[in-house]
Amino acid sequence: RGGLARTMIPLLAGPPIMGPPTREMLAKLGHVKWCVIATYACAVGRFWAKDPFGALNDLFGGLFGTFLLREDPSMEPCFRCLKESPLGAMSDGGLTCLLPYMF
């Protein structure tokens, strides 16, 4: 039992990213916006290709990306719509959604 604890790799989870994004982050998040839009397009494509679970996976990724981009002016209406729906209980959005979007 003691040997198992020594072989485990500790997770290096730092503090969560809080607050508004910096200018450098906003520049990088502009590229992420197009990835989120492409993720939604992939969800539609997978649904048409009769891959419903793949479409659901892409849809969740797109939702996390939309919550991530709450400060983006072009994604803000989508974020507000989702925030007012039952999905609004998922998160307040922002940079705290970066890790779920990556996975």
Cα dihedral sign for 3, 8, 9, 10? Answer: negative
Its pTM stands at 0.70
Position 12 confidence tier, pLDDT thresholds 50, 70, 90: low
Q: Measured between alpha carbons, how far is 79 from 3 in angstroms, rounded to an integer?
A: 47
Q: Would you place residue 6 in the very low, low, confident or very high pLDDT band (cuts 50, 70, 90)?
A: low
The whole-number pLDDT of residue 99 equals 67
CB atoms within 10 A of CB 4: 7
Q: Mind listing the pLDDT tens digit for each residue in 26-37?
A: 787 888 889 999
* pLDDT higher than 70, residue 97: no
User: Rounded to an integer, what distance in angstroms lies between the CA atom of residue 90 and that of residue 88?
Assistant: 5
